[in-house]
A and B are shown apart, each in its own frame.
Chain A
Amino acid sequence: MLAFFVTAIVAFIFYLSLTFGSGTIGAWSIEEWISGAVLSLIVGAIAGRVAFDHKRQGKKSSLRMLNPLRWLLFLVYLIGPFLWAMAKANLDVAYRVITGKIRPGIVRISPGLTTDFGITLLANSITLTPGTLSVDVDEESGDLFVHWINVKETDPSAKAVCGSFPDWARRIAE
Chain B
Amino acid sequence: MNILLYVLLGIGVLFNGLGAIALLRFPDIYTRLHGATKCTTFGSLFTALGVIVYGFARGGAQYNTLAIHVIIALIALLVTNPTGSHAIARAAYRSGIKPVGAVVDKLEDQS
Chains A and B share a contact (CB less than 8 Å) = yes
A-to-B contact residues, CB < 8 Å: 14, 17-18, 20-21, 86-87, 89-90, 93-94, 97, 100, 102-108, 123-124, 127-128, 131, 133-136, 138, 145, 147, 149, 151, 154
Known: A17-B68, A151-B104. 9 other contacts (CB 8 A): A17-B71, A20-B65, A86-B38, A90-B38, A104-B101, A106-B105, A131-B34, A135-B86, A151-B103
Tell me whether B90 and A127 are in contact (CB under 8 A): no
Complex CA–CA separation, A123 to B103 (angstroms): 22
16 contacts between A and B (CB under 8 A): A17-B68, A20-B64, A93-B34, A94-B15, A97-B21, A100-B25, A102-B27, A102-B31, A105-B105, A124-B83, A127-B37, A127-B86, A134-B89, A135-B89, A136-B89, A147-B99
B residues less than 8 Å from A149 (CB atoms): 31, 34
B110 contacts partner chain A, Cβ-Cβ < 8 Å: yes
Q: Given known contacts A17-B68, A18-B72, A97-B22, is B106 in contact with A90 (CB within 8 Å)?
A: no
Tell me whether B31 and A104 are in contact (CB under 8 A): yes
Tell me whether B38 and A128 are in contact (CB under 8 A): yes
How big is chain B's contact interface, by range? Answer: 35 or more
* Cβ-defined partner of A104 (8 Å) among B65, B90, B103: B103
10 tightest A-B CB contacts, nearest first: A127-B82, A105-B104, A105-B103, A108-B106, A154-B104, A124-B82, A21-B61, A97-B22, A135-B89, A90-B42
Tell me whether B86 and A134 are in contact (CB under 8 A): yes
* Cβ-defined partner of A133 (8 Å) among B15, B34, B65, B107: B34
B-to-A contact residues, CB < 8 Å: 15, 18, 21-22, 25-28, 30-31, 33-35, 37-39, 41-42, 61-62, 64-65, 68-69, 71-72, 79, 82-83, 85-86, 89-90, 93, 99-108, 110
Complex CA–CA separation, A57 to B34 (angstroms): 35
Tell me whether B104 and A133 are in contact (CB under 8 A): no
- Greatest chain B CB density within 10 A among A17, A107, A123, A128 is at A128
* Cβ-defined partner of B107 (8 Å) among A86, A102, A135, A151: A135
B residues less than 8 Å from A135 (CB atoms): 30, 86, 89-90, 93, 107
* Cβ-defined partner of B25 (8 Å) among A21, A97, A138, A147: A97
- Distance in angstroms from B77 CB to nearest chain A CB is 12
- Distance in angstroms from A165 CB to nearest chain B CB is 13
- Distance in angstroms from B17 CB to nearest chain A CB is 10
